[in-house]
Structure formats: structure tokens, C-alpha cells
Structure 1
Amino acid sequence: MSRFRRVKKTLREILADPAWQDRLSELDDYPPNILVPPLLNLRLDKEELVRWRSVTAFGITAARLADASMEKARTLMRTCMWYMNEESGNLGWGIPHFMAEAMVRHERIAVEFHKILASYIFCDEECDGNFLDHPELRRDVFWGLARLAGERPEYVVGAERFLITALDEEDSYNRAYAAWALGGIKAASAREKLTQLDADATAIRTFADNELMDVTVGEIASEALRALD
């Protein structure tokens, strides 16, 4: 069995374990660069929980890499950006989750790459953005911005007006995650639109506080409104 397959098998066992959080310390047994390829692969795992938990593991791994060598961390983040590039031939599913979690776990990464993450939702000519036309791929960006806003809101405030625009998106996940992010940055300018979403009973399933949860768009909007107060 190749090293890649062996490490991936071990990682998947850890992430599929109900006690996975207690086992994350086992990642320290591996150099971070060895963990990156199998984690990138696990973002596409057949099990939803494994996919989401791989985000946490990636963030921890990226932070370890940055502590050892910021240049290697930059290379890792640029690799993620390459996955988001249509010309790469790759699908970027889950990559914005990974990018955001790396920024949550390491401030230096956030300082250098938060504008890149936000650029994927920029949707006018005034901004030099990388707007993603695919609404389901934008979901991953909105979740990433919401996750980052909950821990390091100062790196998301620059995306405020685009997040407000996203409250009108047809995709229910995008509306919900935009509301979540706006609550995280305490965007008072979003109050009116968040109030309009308060009664949105559309259900979504997402990952928050290390758990899968079923919530409605309205519940997330209500929580964002409470954050404004």
C-alpha cells in the first residue's frame, strides 16, 4: 500500500470515529505536508461527516505548516486557489471551506489570503473579483466567509456589500450563509434585509460547532439579527 493510501486510510478512520475530536492530536504524528494530499482527497468523501471533519483537520494542518514555514503555507493556499481556477480542470468543491479554516486557525494566513476568499463573491466591475457563476460552488465560499466572520470578523468586513446582495440569491444556502456572515461582522446595514428573511422557512443542513445541523434560513437570519443587537 502506498504512503498516500495508508495515510488516507488512517485519516479517514480518525474522522469517521464518533470521538474524532479527541483523536485529532494523532495528526501530530505526521509531518503536515504528508497530510495535505489525503485531506484534499477526503473533501470529496462519500460520507458527509467525513467531508466536513476533513475541513477541521485541514485547518489544523495548515496552521502547523505555517508555524514551520510560512512560505510552504503560502504554497498550500496557492494550491487551493489553483483548484478554484477553471483552467486547472479541477472542481473546487470544498476548497473554500479549507481556505477559510486555515485562516481561522492561523492569523498570518488570514492576513495574506482573506481578500482572495472574498473575491469569489465580488459581483461588480468596481472590484477586481473572481466571481463564481456556479451558485452551488459559491455556497462553499459563503460558508467559508461565515466561518471566518465568526472567529476573525475583521477579515470579512470588506465583503459586506456583496454579502448583503447575496441575501437575495435564489440558493437558500447562499442566503443563509450570507446572513450568518453578516451577523458575524455585525453589519447594521443588513438589518432590513435580514428582517425580511426572518420568516424564511427553507431548511438547510450545515456544519457548525463541529456538528451537522438542520436549520432554516430564517433561524440563521434571526440569529444574525440578535448579533446586531
Structure 2
Amino acid sequence: MTRSSTIGQRAPSCGQAAGQTAAFTLVELLVTIGIIAILIAILLPTLARVKQAANASTCLSNLRGWSQAIMLYTTENRGRYWIDYGNYPTPGTGEGTWMRVLATYYRNLDRYRLCPAATELTGNWGSTTITAWGPIQFTSFLFDPNDFGSYGINHWLNDLPRTGPFVNGWRNRPDLQWRRVGGHGGKATDAPIIADCEWYGG
């Protein structure tokens, strides 16, 4: 063999026969897999917390948007909230439903209906804390049939009709209805207006 023919060739390492390539041993593979498993176990809780923080941020942003829509509505209506017809709206109209009333302030209402942590729709409202209400089933006469969401309004803020079967409001206590911004003797300023909810309001 000439000298030039050996240039660029690598001599076999100690303990390695010519023509064989280096490979991981079983022990080395097990150690590598173990290290990867440990890293995954360390990272998963962190990733879960990051996702939870992102969901919370989106949820707060949605709630802020709804609050702003409520402010716009009351500003345009001399401080009064929308009328609540309780269980007696015109059948199938969704009359008095807050989401329908405020929909005019959104270009894409569906984008703000759901909290990212509660996107599964159910007609069995009030069943869990991580599902959204809708599509409406046995109570469809109350709402827009297309309504759904994971936020709910404080029903005590609603105004009441001057006549009709719901003139006395919820629990026959019209004195507890806010009716307008700062209502109920000013106590309304300390109460929540909208929040995550298992139903469209409460």
C-alpha cells in the first residue's frame, strides 16, 4: 500500500475492529432515555402553568371587553341597564338576554363568548365548572337558540318591565334590582357585573 492511499483514512480506535462503527450500548441508551424522561417531568408542570397563565390572560381580556360593552350600552341609555323579562319573553326571541343586547358592540361576538378553560358546550347547565352553557335545550324559549358562552351576567342589575308578568323581578323583590348604574342605594358599585359562569346569568 502506498503512502498516498492511506491519506484521509481513520485508524480503528482501541478495542474497535476495522470495518465496525461506534454504537450506543444498552446501558447508555437507558441512561439517555432516563435523562429525557426526567427533563420532560420537569418541563411539563412549567408548560402547564404557562398555558394556564395564557388562558387566564385571555379570559380577563374577554371579561374586560364585556365590561366595556356594558359601559357603552349604559352610556347610550342614560345609565339604565336592559330590561329583563325573566321567564316571560316573547317565545323564541331571546328578548332581554344580555348577550344578544351587547352583541351590537362586537364585530365577531363568538370570539368573546368562551373562556379558553371552558370551551366544551353542554345543555346540562350548572353541571360542571369547566363547561360552557349551550346550545340551549329545554329552556330554548328563553334565549336566542344560537346563544352559548362561559360567562354570565349578574341578573340583579337588570331593569324591569313596567307591565307584564315579570314586573316584580326575581323572587318578587323589585327593590333588589339595580335597574341603573349605581342602583340599589349605591350598593351596586361594590358588586360584580359579569364573571365566569355555568349559566348565562345568576
TM (norm. structure 1) is 0.22
Greater fraction helix: 1
Higher radius of gyration, 1 or 2? 2
Q: Which has the higher contact order (CA 8 A, sep 6+)?
A: 2
